[in-house]
Amino acid sequence: MTKKIPGFASVVLLTIGTNPATRNEVTRIVRSRAWLIEEVHAEEYFSAQKRPSFGPQLHDADYCIVLIDFEKNPEQAAETTRYLNEAYGNKVLAIAVVKSATSDLILTALRAGCSELISEPIQQTALDTVLNRLENVSATNIHSQEDRAKVITLVGAKGGVGTTTLAVHLAIFLAKRHGKRTLLIDQHLSGGHVSVYLGLDSSGNHFEEVVRNLARMDSELLHRFVAKHESGVEVLTSPDTFRTERELEPEAVRRALDFLASEYEYIVIDCNRVERALSQPVFSVSQTVYLVASPDVAAARDLARMIDELVVLEESSEKTRILLNRSNSPFAIDAEYIERATRQRIAVRIPNAYPGLIRAANLGEPLGPGSNGDVPLALAQWSDEIVGAPARRIKAGKEQKRLTGWLQSLTAQSSSAS
């Protein structure tokens, strides 16, 4: 495991397919830096199907300097580069090593995700120029955790409990009520509904594309990439078509979230529990994980099972909070039954306003902090608790009357039609 000492960058030096002379010279130059260096030398290329055995070492390091021989087999070298960039994201500095920098090799290396290209024999001045850039980054970017976003994840005990609705509204209240720079992520690989509830086009701005292209991502590119909602919330959506794609690496998801946390004050994630391999990295970077349930037997049973599963992941289980949605709905089971079944107290209760929220979702116009009613009041108090700001009262009444009138008109229309 790579050592960690505060104030020092831990760096893995990884060479792939390079000859001994190149390997020795690179090692000598890199070891002259004030870094904690761990060396890994691989003779063969690898990929998502042929994964390396030293993954944990790369996982623990702050940065990974990779020198890949692009002369022997450019196609396999390119596949190796793509795998490393996708799996380990912006901690990877991929350098293509060539004997002759032809235009074809340069293009292949750049398309694969190499940041630099160096010719053999290795010249110290050329490699020093590359390492200086990395050193400048590490000096200003060694785990400034206080400037990172608070990541809040919502995951449903089962389908239909209102997880997406609550994630959308929490993000809006954080942005509009508290003025926080907020990112909302639809973590579903396809078919998510965040864009529908916000009235946004979901043909682009996908979270998975950030994960796959993390090596090229910076603040400026991200700003152009995310969708912007009128509330001030920035959004990474889910594709609206169901398709089969190469699976995302869990570590790549974690690295992408780590990068995004450096760009925002709050990140709200609508988590897809079905993709369990991808849920774990989401939980690992989250400060709080809200387990959303409705007050019915099926949801309570699934909630208890989910909590039992998370106990195995000790780090995740400590972050969990139960959120009871539609807490006062007709025929709701007693909240005490849910607390006994899960052995946890309910942390947040959102009252029932199902028709109004469905109407808001259908129109793509979520409720905001200025809306009246019990649900906006509960959302305001929830967001206040998260931010640590004192709750501000929102009067209930007008919104409830308007929704009641809407329901009455709908009933009248149904009666006349029959």
H or E element that contains 320 = strand 320-325
Least confident of 19-28, 110-119, 284-293, 386-395: 386-395
30 Cβ neighbours under 8 A, 6+ residues apart: 11, 13, 37, 65, 127, 131
Q: What is the pLDDT of residue 221?
A: 86
Mean of per-residue pLDDT scores for the chain: 83
Please report which confidence band the pLDDT of residue 175 belongs to, taking 50, 70 and 90 as the band edges: very high
Q: Residue 414 domain-assigned?
A: no
Chosen domain end from 110, 140, 170: 140
Q: What is the pLDDT of residue 121?
A: 93
User: C-alpha distances in angstroms, 132 versus 3, 129, 135, 274?
Assistant: 22, 5, 5, 43
**What is the total residue count of the chain?**
418
Residue owning tokens 């009252």 = 351
Residue 397: pLDDT above 50? no
Give 266's strand partners. 150, 182
Q: Residue 306 domain-assigned?
A: yes
Chosen domain end from 121, 140, 159: 140
Calpha distance 351→125 (Å, rounded): 65
Residue 161: pLDDT above 90? yes
Boundaries of domain holding 254: 146-401
Least confident of 81-90, 134-143, 180-189, 306-315: 134-143
Q: Residue 59 domain-assigned?
A: yes
Cβ-contact 217, 91 below 8 angstroms: no
Least confident of 201-215, 267-281, 312-326, 345-359: 312-326
Chosen domain end from 91, 118, 140: 140
Same domain, 101 and 25: yes
Q: Residue 23 domain-assigned?
A: yes
For residue 32, the 8-state DSSP code is T
Calpha distance 189→191 (Å, rounded): 7
Q: What is the CATH number of the domain that holds 162?
A: 3.40.50.300
Q: Residue 412 domain-assigned?
A: no
Same domain, 323 and 343: yes
Calpha distance 196→120 (Å, rounded): 53
Residue 15: pLDDT above 50? yes
Same domain, 63 and 196: no
pLDDT of 45-94, one tens digit each?
A: 987 677 777 766 777 777 889 999 999 999 999 999 988 887 777 778 89
Same domain, 75 and 173: no
Q: What is the pLDDT of residue 153?
A: 97
Same domain, 71 and 188: no
Residue ranges of alpha helices (H) inside 61-141 are 74-88, 103-112, 124-140
Token digits for 148? 């990172």
Cβ-contact 339, 346 below 8 angstroms: yes
Q: What is the torsional sign of CA 351, 352, 356, 358? A: positive
Q: In what order do the strands lie in the sheet with 227-228?
A: 227-228, 234-236, 182-186, 266-270, 150-156, 288-293, 320-325, 346-350
Q: What is the pLDDT of residue 396?
A: 42
Please report which confidence band the pLDDT of residue 331 belongs to, taking 50, 70 and 90 as the band edges: confident
Same domain, 297 and 196: yes
Residue owning tokens 């942390």 = 347
Same domain, 303 and 166: yes
Same domain, 219 and 298: yes
Calpha distance 194→202 (Å, rounded): 9
Mean pLDDT of 18-28: 94
Q: What is the pTM of this model?
A: 0.65
User: C-alpha distances in angstroms, 66 versus 30, 51, 116?
Assistant: 11, 15, 10
Q: What is the pLDDT of residue 142?
A: 45
pLDDT of 203-253, one tens digit each?
A: 778 998 898 888 778 888 898 889 999 999 999 999 877 654 557 788 888
Please report which confidence band the pLDDT of residue 313 belongs to, taking 50, 70 and 90 as the band edges: low
Same domain, 175 and 309: yes
Calpha distance 394→11 (Å, rounded): 52
Please report which confidence band the pLDDT of residue 407 belongs to, taking 50, 70 and 90 as the band edges: very low
Residue 404: pLDDT above 90? no
Calpha distance 307→322 (Å, rounded): 10
Same domain, 325 and 346: yes
Residue 417: pLDDT above 90? no
Residue type, 285: V
Q: Residue 75 domain-assigned?
A: yes
Q: What is the CATH number of the domain that holds 33?
A: 3.40.50.2300
Please count the other Cβ atoms lying within 10 Å of the Cβ belonging to residue 55: 13
Token digits for 196? 């529908």
Mean pLDDT of 315-334: 86
Residue 399: pLDDT above 50? no
Residue ranges of alpha helices (H) inside 199-275 are 207-212, 219-225, 250-261
Residue 274: pLDDT above 80? no
Q: CA Rg, the chain, in Å?
A: 25
Same domain, 119 and 227: no
Residue 413: pLDDT above 60? no
Mean pLDDT of 131-155: 71
Q: Residue 417 domain-assigned?
A: no
Q: Residue 408 domain-assigned?
A: no
Same domain, 227 and 282: yes
If one counts the domains in the chain, the total is 2
Q: What is the pLDDT of residue 390?
A: 61
Q: What is the pLDDT of residue 224?
A: 84
